[in-house]
Amino acid sequence: MDHERAAPPDRAARPGTRRVGPAARRQRGDVHAARPQDRFDALRAGATRRARRCAGGGAVSALVTPAWLEERLGDPDLRIIESSVDKAAYDEGHIAGAQWVAPYGPLLINGDNSRGNVITPQQFAALMSQLGIEPATTVVFYGNGHSRYAMRGYWTLGYYRHPGPYYVLDGGRERWVAEGRPLTADVVQPAPASYPEPRDVDRGDEATWQDVRAAINRRDAVIVDVRTPGEYEGSDVRSARGGHIPGAVQLEYTDATTGDNLLKPAEELRRMFEARGITPDKEIIAHCQLGVRAAHTWFVLKHVLGYPNVKNYDGSWSEWGNRDDSPIEK
């Protein structure tokens, strides 16, 4: 994608969307005076209509530039979430107003790096409430390490159908710092919110073990293994068994980025994926060890290249490699 393009316009200016500030809340008493769950459902219905319009040919960018974000620092309806490889970077200095979310605990159900799977509805609602996020809140994720944890956070909000706008900062910490934008050591803790527990999820971007098993040897599907060559070949074993899913194409997730943590231009990305048979006419299932690196590839294919049918295998190798009934090649 073109990283020198102008910052995307404020979401409020896009058709069918608008920023919901305090004045707007007072005027929209029909939604905001309702019970929290009713309010959540009404907001999510609007988000679903926008997503359908986007799928029908419109474009809503999932990336925002540093300039776009810096202009909005201090916005009371904005929450910025940093999820970097470790907390040391955050402690040294972070974007003003950013809150720290550890890369494993709040994003994966068991709170460590041994098993994938998205957090539960109860955990999701508790995390959003702790971060001061309401259903209408705009959320921006960023981090380092190719922004993989930020993209996992983005995937998680989509899984639970967060109604408000949510984005990933293009280029992450590295680009923000390289452009000389300000950092602070001040830690801000917004007042807790009351985020309703989601009653259902969007499984359109998720693949299960059964989905992956059924995709093996299908001509209209591609399983993309975004782990390292050692993990793929079985020399780097991180579960009970090592190796790869039969027929899986190995393409490490970092191949989509430059050395400075920027995504490569869209046309270069398209050529790279298509050269490996990863084309938009097929169902694409990305996997790694925990569904984090795979969320990065899912994001690139779906939100940068516009592939219509891309899924993240949430359990990934932490499930596949630990099941006795999983077929494995080396």
**Domain locations along the chain:** 11-201, 204-320
Q: Which residues pair with 329 in a beta bridge?
A: 244
Q: How many CA atoms lie within 13 A of 191 on its CB side?
A: 3
CATH architecture of the domain 11-201 equals: 3-Layer(aba) Sandwich (3.40)
One fold for 11-201 and 204-320: yes
Say whether pLDDT at 22 is over 60: no
Predicted local confidence at residue 259, as pLDDT: 81
Say whether pLDDT at 58 is over 90: no
As annotated, the active-site residues are 288
56 and 79 Cβ atoms separated by less than 8 Å = no
Say whether pLDDT at 310 is over 90: yes
- Measured CA to CA, the distance from residue 110 to residue 194 in angstroms comes to 23
- Measured CA to CA, the distance from residue 227 to residue 242 in angstroms comes to 12
* Residue that has been written with the tokens 């680009």 in this structure: 175
Q: What is the CATH number of domain 204-320?
A: 3.40.250.10
pTM: 0.83
Predicted local confidence at residue 157, as pLDDT: 97
Predicted local confidence at residue 43, as pLDDT: 55
Predicted local confidence at residue 154, as pLDDT: 98
User: Which pLDDT band holds residue 261 (cuts at 50, 70, 90)?
Assistant: confident
Average pLDDT score over residue span 225-239: 98
- Measured CA to CA, the distance from residue 310 to residue 204 in angstroms comes to 8
**Share above pLDDT 90 across residues of the chain, in percent, rounded to a whole number:** 75
- Closest by CA to 86, choosing from 107, 66, 100, 99, is 100
Say whether pLDDT at 273 is over 60: yes
